[in-house]
Amino acid sequence: MNGARMSRRRIVLPESNDPRVVQAGIEAVKQQIAEIILLGNPDQVRSAATNDPALERLTIIDPVTSPNHSRYAEILIKARAKAQISIDKAKEQIQLPLVYANCMVASGDADGCVAGANIATAEVIRHAIRIVGANPEFKLASSFFLMLFGSTTPGIQGPALFADCGLVINPDASELAKIAAATAQNARILLDMTPVVAMLSFSSMGSARHPAVSRVYQATKLLNQQYPDLHVIGEIQFDAAIFPEIFESKTGKTGKFVQPNVFIFPNLDAGNIAYKIAERVAGATAIGPILQGINKPINDLSRGCTIDDIVRSIAVTACQANFDHNSRGKS
């Protein structure tokens, strides 16, 4: 949250028809997490705000009556050049809040977007890739969860990142390496810690042979080649990754254990199951899914999200946007 407060980035919320989103935007402003832009009919937004005076500190834009139709239509036409949409069609699409929000981010009028309370994940990602585009370094849209564990949780204490738990179903070795690299970068952004990446498998350092193990092994090899300064452990079983005595027993490496803070699962089945077990059984707080591999911060919400979930996603998006601005040499 502190990183978000320091950045004061502009985050656009296109689902102001949902009272949860409106209240989360108000709460984010009260906590000084970000500057909030709500898209929708101003009268409906004010009705959802239940007369909260803090609403006056938010910016409300109606995509239907916005004077930016022509400018954003040009952005949309350029982004969707292969579709060859007409200017009239583009102006019509700009009136859709999610399309308008992505054009705001693409143009720099907003620093990030949070959506998905009522919009399907596929739609959030599709518009993000079409309009904002893929990150030129990673070139693969994936996701992670920021997992906040209690101080008494065995094996993992404090924050960690789990990926991919929400998007890429069965990544090949190259995709797995890209997911790991993107997640490691987000660990630096969100945790302000040096990332230590565990490439998870049912094998530890060659203890089993199977095509699934070979895929994780190859991904680890690629990661080491492409990011030689990144601390990568793998392939490794989960218990060996988090307990020093098991690590030494299964790998034979005495005194080499380093606690990971980034856990890369071999497929979506494993990642999705793992984060839900950690959340429901270990009592971890799961923030996400948080998207990565997009050129600018666009984040998805669960359909069952709470106001607190949305506020946390706004904070994460603001932190990502701050990194994005600093890395591009912007103020």
Assign 149 to helix, strand or coil.
strand
58-108 tens-digit pLDDT: 899 999 998 888 898 888 888 877 777 888 888 888 899 999 999 999 999
- For residue 331, name the pLDDT band (cuts at 50, 70, 90): very low
pLDDT for position 178? 95
Contacts of 232 (CB under 8 A, 6+ apart): 180, 197, 199, 220, 223, 224
Share of the chain above pLDDT 90, in %: 53
- 124-148 residue pLDDT tens: 988 999 899 888 888 888 999 999 9
Domain 2-133+295-327: which topology?
Rossmann fold (3.40.50)
Pick the CATH number of 142-285 from 3.40.50.300, 3.40.50.10750, 3.40.35.10, 3.50.50.60: 3.40.50.10750
Q: Please write the tens of the pLDDT for every residue from 173-184.
A: 999 999 999 999
For the chain, the domains span: 2-133+295-327, 142-285
**What's the pLDDT score for residue 330?**
47
Domains 2-133+295-327 and 142-285 share a fold: yes
d(CA 267, CA 256): 27
Reference 44, options 55, 54, 30; nearest CA is 55
